[in-house]
Structures are given as C-alpha cells and as structure tokens.
Structure 1
C-alpha cells in the first residue's frame, strides 16, 4: 500500500507501507531513490511491517522550497514514527539514507529507534575522505539527474556534516555498518571511522560489493543483517 502523508502544511510524503508483523522496519533510500532499496523492502516484508518513504524531490515527488536540510528529513521521519506509534524500530538505510538515519538517531528523544543498519552511508566529515557524489557521463547509466539534484538540495555543495561525527557517541542503540569492499564513493576506511564514532557499533565488509552491497552481494549482506537482528 502506498499512502500520501501530510505531516506539515505544504509538505507531502509518499510512503510505501507493506508487510506485517510485530517488528517495524524503516527503510531509507539513497541517491538512486526507492528502487535502490527494493531488495531491502522485499527481504523484510514477509515478517515485518516495512515503512519506506520517498524523500521529497525523488521520483517526481514535490519538494517545498523550504524543505532543504537533512535535519528536515530526520525530524519528519521521527514525527512519522511518533504518528504511527512505532517502537523499537529497525532503521535500514543506504548511502544518503544513512546520513538521514544517523541524524535521526542523534535526535531520537522519544526513543523510537531500536537498531540501526547503515549500508555504505555518507554523512559525517571524516579527515582524508572527501565525499564526491557520483556524476556519470552523459548517456551512461546512473541515478536520475532530477534525483541527484534533489540530493544536492539536501546535502549542499559539500555532502558532509562536520558536526555529526562527534555527536554519534551519544547514540546508544546497537548499530551495524556494512560496507562494500570496492566502494569508490565512500571506501571501507571511511566506514570504519564512521562506525567507530558510535558507542555500540559493529563494522562488516562485504567482498566483491561496491556502494550498494544489498544489490551487488545480497546473500552476504542480508546474512549479516539477519544475524545482527537475531532473525531466523
């Protein structure tokens, strides 16, 4: 089921709400948009309620001019979990979605989040690892240009928050950071430093995968996630 939410005047959120079960999983997409996390949604839907919002501006959805920061997304999705009265929520977030998820975890005063899985996330500024958003040459396959324009409207010219890394130590929920061994957007060294900033995090590298391990090496990626969550 797809719903259109209106959490604030002038703001619409397209939300895929599927599956069913006692566990709620919030899936946050990266630059590729909702299609980039379809394998994650499909993996959890058989035994969990899966909430998968489309960030405003992606896939042709409207984005108000005032809705521009990663913090806007983070606060809106925490409000969504409040409105749904969802507790002990598992957040699984890819790439740019990992940034949003980290900001949510820092701000989770209502203790809605239970666990966090970051898949090759961006977000913090880490010395020696500048993040360059992918820009495929004209005619080459890659993210939709309109989606990438939306990403830049949130991330800004430098897709990193210099304040985020030191704030992550306040996050108390368990975190699993999974990184593709061959990621050229944010290499494993970036991921290792990202994970180390959390109070309780585990870092895993997936051989043979790049920036989207849940697509490029799904069997190993979901094995790690299921082990972390204690799923049979």
Structure 2
C-alpha cells in the first residue's frame, strides 16, 4: 500500500518562497509546539510546517500506520513538489520522522538530492541500551511536566482547565501517536540504520530532558556519520520553548554551513 498524505492536510507556509526550504516536523504535542521554530526560520528560509495526519482532528489514511509510513509519505510529497536540498527539523516524534526520512532517502535513488540536512531536537525513536524512553502513556499531566520540562511549573497543563474541545483534541492526538509511534515510541532497527544517513546532521538536546536523556541523544548522534551534538542548558524536551536563544545559537551556525 502506498503512503500518501491527505490532500487537505494543514500546512503552514512562511518566509521567502525562493529561499531554501525547511520542513518542520512537530512532536506528539501537535503543531503549536514547533511554532517558535517556524517563526525563527521564516526570517531566512521557506518554511513548511505540516500537521501530521491524525493530529488536531485531521484525517489519517489507513496507509499511514507507522513512522516509516509517514516518512515515506513526506518524501513522496517533497518529490512531487520538486523540492531539493530541504532541511528537516524535527522535535520529539518529529525528530524520529526526520531521521527515518534521511535513512529512506539514502536507500532510494528516487529521493536523491531532496534532503540536504537534518536537525533532530530531542527526538525519540531509537532503542539505546541503558537509556530507556520514558513511558509517556503512563504519565499523568503532572508527571509529564516533571520529565519533559526543566521548569515543570512552566510546562504543567492542568487538565481541569481544558475545554471539552481541547480534551478531545488531546485524546485524539494520543490515540494517533500510539498508532504511529507505538506505545514504546521506538523502532528496534533505527539505531543500526542511522549509519546510512549521508547528510549533515545536528542533534540538539535539552540538558534536563527526562523523556530521552542527553546520554540517549549522544548515542543517537554517534550512530550518524559526522553528526554534531549540542546540549542546551536549563531546558528539557522542548528546548526551543524553554531556551529559545540558546537553541537558535546551536541551530543557526549549523544551517550556515550545512
């Protein structure tokens, strides 16, 4: 079965359409979690930021039932759009999608030249011995804030304050994430396959991330030829939200060279 993105998939477009393209891939929290990345990059790049199928009430085709399926669908879409030298920037599950896209592109001549660089921000997806991924689905709102944020009070969202609509969206996102990423949010084959990545890669990690630790991030980066690793102080799983200036200071020099 061919993995194809829905035609009505929401896609934010920002910046100069004649500039280099950045595809920004959000994590389980939805597209709003990468809004600062879109805003920052739009000053110098052509930014595309889709809502993954099944998130925020969108349709998920049956053909997209895994991260590998979604990665293939995005690669095929970029091919159809005749995009070249695209920078993939993914947060959390988005980082996993970006790495899977890079692995698939390296193995398929049809996608040659589409991906120019990858930035993985606290991405899940790999299995790293001794560094387990936190059991996201077993955590309540308080527990999630504790592991995901350097400052848990800043990240805590009180479920009692949610509207019925917000609660329905959050529950729908969780169900989609369980299908796409699995309850373990990992692929046992990914770490070994990362050696195929053949584009400049940067791993950016919050020093206080308790979902996937900096040691986990270093292990992922070490599996990618020539990859760089930067740790962001006083930040957790979403460093672009907690420490944006330090995150841009890591990303911008990389993009200037990649």
Could you tell me the TM-score, scaled by structure 1's length?
Answer: 0.90
State the distance in 1 between where 2:5 and 2:81 align: 19
Conservation of the 8 A alpha-carbon contact between 1:11 and 1:64: no
State the distance in 1 between where 2:199 and 2:177 align: 27
Conservation of the 8 A alpha-carbon contact between 2:63 and 2:69: no
Could you tell me the TM-score, scaled by structure 2's length?
Answer: 0.82
SS in 1 for 2:123: coil
State the distance in 1 between where 2:215 and 2:5 align: 42
Match of 1:140 among 158, 177, 191: 158
> Which ranges of 4 or more aligned residues in structure 1 deviate by more than 6 Å?
none
1:42-83, Cα deviation, whole Å (9 max, x unpaired): 011122111111111111111133421111110011011111
Instruction: List alignment gaps of at least 5 residues for structure 1.
Output: 1-6
Conservation of the 8 A alpha-carbon contact between 2:6 and 2:59: no
Structure 1 residues 202 and 10: CA distance shift in structure 2, 3 A = closer
1:42-57 map, 5 Å: 42-57=39-54
State the distance in 1 between where 2:187 and 2:6 align: 27
Conservation of the 8 A alpha-carbon contact between 1:13 and 1:56: yes
Match of 2:130 among 128, 131, 136: 128
- Are 1:180 and 2:206 an aligned pair? yes
Match of 1:62 among 51, 59, 64: 59
- Are 1:77 and 2:80 an aligned pair? no
Aligned pair count? 225
The structure with the greater share of residues assigned to strand is: 1
Tell me how large the CA RMSD over aligned residues is. Answer: 2.1
Deviation at 1:157, TM superposition (A): 2.5
State the distance in 1 between where 2:49 and 2:231 align: 25
SS in 1 for 2:172: helix
Counterpart position of 2:246:
220
Say which structure, 1 or 2, has more relative contact order (CA 8 Å, 6+ apart): 2
SS in 2 for 1:86: coil
Conservation of the 8 A alpha-carbon contact between 2:240 and 2:247: yes
SS in 1 for 2:90: strand
